Amino acid sequence: MKTKHFSIIPAAPGLIRHLTAGLLLAWFSLGLAIETPIDPPAPSTPENASGSTEPNRENQHAPKPFEARYRVSEDGDEMGESVVRLFRDQNHWRLDSVVRGTHGLASLLGFKRAETTLFDWHYQPPDDLWLPLSYRFSQKVAFKKKTSQYQYDQQTGIANGKSGSKFWQLPIKPPFITPNLVVLTLARDLCDGQQDMHYRVLDKGKIKDYHFTVVGTEEGLIKVTKEHGSPERVTESWHDPQRQCLNVRSRHKEPGDDWLETVLVSTSLQAAATQQPRGSQASITK
């Protein structure tokens, strides 16, 4: 970590927060990119009750449980790591993601960011739907802590939440997603050939519009940018179409700051679509 960073400690939480925004572009796309199926694959020409031999597209679209580890760096200097897990939590899906500072100022300040989304997944041809049921966020830097959470009632169509000490309530109809479900939807749409993507993201009682655009290809990878409304803020990611649009690299830059980059280090595939002891997992390391 460069010496200059110790002169801007008040700005550090913002820097690391931008770092984790870049991480979000990589996390969930991994879940779609795992090449070894976790559940036994459906036969190539299954016959359903009606006698059709059409492939079981619902199984093809279903999320795949995984555990992923990422390395985070700033201007080439390692800052931290991220561990992400997607698994079945009884009758629902659950995404846990944790980012920790391990080097330099991020480690010195004891940075930790955690997010959890509990959601249902439904296949509704021709699309699949992520329906958030609850979302929790916490971030700790030195002696400062931020928290937010909300629950969504499918019957009333109302989200009830709390951000810091403020309670809020918002009527909202699907489709909408949480901040850490963005990349799952992005990877799916890229593999479906979409070029311009808008997502409704519910965060802290407000609906935010996330806009991603495919800007070309580089060495066989799909390059995507996120619109920020300012040319001085840049978020870029590269996705592999041969691996179900796996995000192999992402980077983010704020005005006056260095590039923040996240790179996939390793993955562990779960043996079943439920939470399993670590010893029962088969590992694949990149």
Given this model, what pLDDT does residue 109 score?
A: 94
Residue 103 lies in a domain: yes
**Closest to 152 measured CA to CA, from 137, 167, 135, 165:** 135
Q: Where in the sequence is the domain holding 152, given as residue range(s)?
A: 14-34+60-278
Residue 47 lies in a domain: no
Q: Tokens standing for 44?
A: 């190539």
Given this model, what pLDDT does residue 243 score?
A: 66
Residue 39 lies in a domain: no
Residue 177 lies in a domain: yes
What one-letter code names the amino acid at 219?
E
**Closest to 203 measured CA to CA, from 178, 173, 239:** 178
Given this model, what pLDDT does residue 239 score?
A: 86
Residue 42 lies in a domain: no
In the chain, where does DSSP find H-type helix? 12-33, 57-61, 104-108, 182-191
Give the separation between CA 180 and CA 160, rounded to whole angstroms.
18
Q: Model confidence over 141-176: pLDDT tens digits?
A: 999 999 999 999 999 999 999 999 999 999 999 999
Rounded to whole angstroms, what are the CA distances from 164 to 51, 61, 76, 135, 276? 55, 36, 34, 14, 33
Cis amide bond preceding 179, omega within 30: no
Q: Are 72 and 79 in contact (CB under 8 A)?
A: yes
Residue 49 lies in a domain: no
Given this model, what pLDDT does residue 57 score?
A: 57
Total number of domains constituting the chain? 1
Q: Which residues of the chain have pLDDT under 50?
A: 1-55, 271-286
pTM: 0.73
Give the separation between CA 164 and CA 177, rounded to whole angstroms.
21
Residue 30 lies in a domain: yes
Residue 242 lies in a domain: yes
What one-letter code names the amino acid at 124?
Q
266 CA to centre of own chain: 16
Cis amide bond preceding 37, omega within 30: no
